[in-house]
């Protein structure tokens, strides 16, 4: 079941739980049906791959996905973890804001 996620590709996030706790990075991929995200440079795993025409085989390191509950948006003002909220502008458009400071994300 796909749920409405409050983070998007390109958002700056911090890992708030697990062995990668405290690491920061940008979201490179969002998987709403699994409630997971891939964060660049975080949760690296080693995979043995077979050689193909495009790539050489061997052990490669790649990012594994994290559950959405284990990441939090970074507040643009303070740099600390924050929740995301929405604010309706006067013209009726919806803007994402950081709950901690009220700044637009």
Summarised one tens digit per residue, pLDDT across range 5-61 is 889 999 999 999 999 999 999 999 999 999 999 999 999 999 999 999 988 889 999
Summarised one tens digit per residue, pLDDT across range 73-104 is 999 998 999 999 999 989 989 999 999 988 88
Residue ranges per domain, the chain?
A: 1-74, 78-105
Q: What pLDDT does 5 receive? A: 86
CATH tag, 1-74:
2.30.30.30
E strand segments, the chain: 12-15, 24-31, 36-39, 44-49, 58-63, 66-67, 71-74, 81-82, 84-88, 94-98
Q: What pLDDT does 30 receive? A: 95
Tokens at 30, concatenated: 């969002």
């Amino acid at each position: 079941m796909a749920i409405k996620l409050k983070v998007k590709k390109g958002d700056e996030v911090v890992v708030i739980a697990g062995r990668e706790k405290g690491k920061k990075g940008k979201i490179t991929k969002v998987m709403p049906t699994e409630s997971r995200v891939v964060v660049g440079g975080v949760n690296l795993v080693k995979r043995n791959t077979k050689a193909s025409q495009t790539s050489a085989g061997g052990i490669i390191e790649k990012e594994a996905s994290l559950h959405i509950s284990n990441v939090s948006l970074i507040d643009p003002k303070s740099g600390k973890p924050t929740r995301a909220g929405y604010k309706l502008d006067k013209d009726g458009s919806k803007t994402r804001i950081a709950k901690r400071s009220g700044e637009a994300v």
